[in-house]
Amino acid sequence: MSYISIAELSAGALELGIELSEEQLGLFDRFAEFLVQTNMKFNLTRITDPGGIVASHFLDSLTCLRAVDFKNGDRVIDVGAGPGFPGLPMKIARPDLHVTLLDSTFKKVKFISDAAEMLELEGIEAMQGRAEDVGRNKDFRERFDVACARALSELRVLAELCLPLVRVGGYVIAQKSGEIDDELASARPVIGQLGGCVRDVVRMRIPGTEIDRQLVVISKTKPTPDTFPRPYSRIAKSKS
């Protein structure tokens, strides 16, 4: 007996153009069960029904794979991954990617690393830290091909947390919903200062739901100046 509806996940992924094998579907199933079990001890997510996990966590995470062309072996960082979204489902669907999941909260990072171990995933790491510090560390700065973030912050803050981590030629994918014109307008100046440029807003419906996802794709065109990222209090306060 599976925990989630394998048919729903499989069909939803296919709608996104992603074919999942029996083994991959099994990994998603075990991950869902582990998420719900762990959630009873440590609050990690408010979505705990199997259908909600399939749609709002798994399929929503997989929409990122449609936003840009991920190359074989690309290094991806999920910034503010929480319990692993979108990075962990991306890793299950694309085992060739090297995925780093970053979060500032210990219990979330511990959950991700326990889940990765339980699922015997390789080429994945869970890292505790603040993106604005990690972005100043030369071992991580401009080392990733793609940075993804869901529900991290307003776009102008998200851009400053993510763009320093991405190499020139790479991308940031911000998962957004609803009306984003104002957010885009207020983020554009700082995105430019960070060496980025909004390339695209990819809109798609999360399969099996009425939820419209908007994936803001930012290209990194120039190195990020040394003055970024700034301390969090400055990033959050600044309006430019």
Interacting span for ligand SAH (CB under 6 A) from 28-36, 77-85, 189-197, 218-226: 77-85
In the complex, minimum distance from the CB of residue 216 to ligand SAH, in angstroms, rounded to a whole number: 15
Shortest distance in whole angstroms from residue 98 CB to ligand SAH: 19
Question: Which residues, 6+ apart, have CB-to-CB distance to 223 below 8 Å?
Answer: 142, 168, 195
Distance separating alpha carbons of residues 18 and 173, to the nearest angstrom = 18
What is the enclosing helix (H) or strand (E) of 92? helix 87-93
DSSP letter for 55, please.
I
Dig out the tokens for 221 from the structure. Answer: 């065109």
Number of residues that bind ligand SAH (CB under 6 A): 17
Q: Which stretch in 30-38, 75-83, 191-199, 204-212 sits in contact with ligand SAH by CB under 6 A?
A: 75-83
**Residues 161-180 as x/- pattern, contact with ligand SAH by CB under 6 A:** x-------------------
Comparison of 60 and 145: residue with beta carbon closer to ligand SAH: 60
3-state secondary structure of 143: coil
Residue 22 burial (CB < 10 Å; 0-12/13-18/19+)?
exposed
Neighbours of 23 (CB within 10 A): 9
| Smallest separation (angstroms) from ligand SAH to the CB of 167 | 20
Can residue 152 be called a binding residue for ligand SAH (CB under 6 A)?
yes
List of residues contacting ligand SAH (CB under 6 A)? 80-82, 85, 102-105, 108, 130-132, 150-152, 161, 232
